[in-house]
Amino acid sequence: MASMDAGNDTFIFAKEIQMMMFGLGDSQNPLLATAQVIELVVKQQLTLLLYKADEVSKMRQSSNIELQDILFLMRKDKVKLKRLLQYLELKDSKMGLPRLMEEIDPAKALQHRRQLGNRKEECLRFLSSIGVHDVYEDSVEDRIKMERLIRADQIAQSLNEKSYQEFHKSRKCSFAATRLNQVKLLDWLKTTAPEPISKLKKEAVDVLIYLAKETVAQLIDMALLVRQDAIAIPGDPLSRAIDPLPTTSSDTFCSEQNQ
């Protein structure tokens, strides 16, 4: 496996990560150094994932890394699987043709839908084939996602109009918001996982993009938990219920204004 020494890394997603941090509930002005540390962690995690997915693809004697290889690695965590399937379902729905085109040429619209397919259903069929059932059921409770939504709502209500526009933009930010960024992401990962990247199928790239931002989100979740523990009062269990959200002028890790 290629070396992942921090000294050899070129940080190219720091700005996007700073935006993602704000959109995920952290400071509005995170330190550049903090974003760079997160970028390094994301790269290490994705590199490890790619090599493990490559091993899975070789087990089924395939020369390509496909979506099912990543699903196989995630098979033991139904909550994260459900979150991923919701993402794929939403992304596929956004790729559909607008209603106006359906009215103009219904046959063309139907053909386009068939080409898009339904990745959520394909994923559920694969998971069922390896004995993973009931992933998309209501019984699979995603407490972490709910906490993130509540956190976003609390932040949004505390912002003025200008800050809210920035927050909304940050919420939409990802590692590959455009096709150009997607190419940049793959080139970035080629430095540590050249062989797996060359085998990656298109439908698996979308999952890789999702997991990159999900890694940032998990780091923010953990940082907020640490902050909550830091402000907890010993002997007072209710103190853990204190809102751990940072203000717009502070950072869970460290902010530019506190530098």
Tell me the DSSP string of 196-245: HHHHB-HHHHHHHHHHHHHHHHHHHHHHHHHHHHHHPPTT-GGGGGS--P
Q: Is residue 150 part of a domain?
A: yes
- In one letter, which amino acid is 201? K
pTM of the model: 0.81
Alpha helices in the chain (DSSP H): 14-23, 32-59, 67-73, 78-94, 99-104, 106-116, 119-129, 143-158, 161-172, 179-190, 194-199, 202-231
In a domain, 130, yes or no: no
pLDDT 10s digits, 179-237 = 777 889 999 999 999 999 999 998 899 999 999 999 999 999 999 888 776 666 666 56
Q: Is 83 a member of any domain?
A: no
Over 90: is that where the pLDDT of 117 sits?
no
Going from the C-alpha of 157 to that of each of 21, 33, 152, 164, 208, the distances in angstroms are: 18, 29, 9, 9, 32
CA distance 3 to 213: 22
What is the rounded average pLDDT of the residues 121-143?
92
Residue 116 lies in a domain: no
Q: How far apart are CA 85 and CA 115, in angstroms?
A: 19
Statement: residue 7 has pLDDT above 50: no
pLDDT at 182: 86
97 located within any domain: no
Task: Tell me the backbone φ, ψ of residue 137, rounded to 5 degrees.
Answer: -80, 155
State mean pLDDT over 133-137. Answer: 90
Per the structure, the complete domain to which residue 178 belongs is given by: 6-65+142-258
Q: What is the Cα–Cα distance from 19 to 168, expressed in whole angstroms? A: 10
Q: Is residue 93 part of a domain?
A: no
| Rounded Cα–Cα distance for residues 232 and 42 (Å) | 29
> Domain total for the chain?
1
- Asked whether residue 135 is assigned to any structural domain, the reply reads no
Q: How many CB atoms lie within 10 A of CB 97?
A: 17
> Please, what is the average pLDDT of the chain?
83
d(CA 140, CA 81): 10
Return the amino acid letter for 179.
R
Query: What are the phi and psi torsion angles at 255 (to 5°)?
Result: -110, 165
- The reply to whether 159 falls in a domain is yes
| pLDDT reported for residue 241 | 54
Does position 99 have pLDDT exceeding 70, yes or no?
no
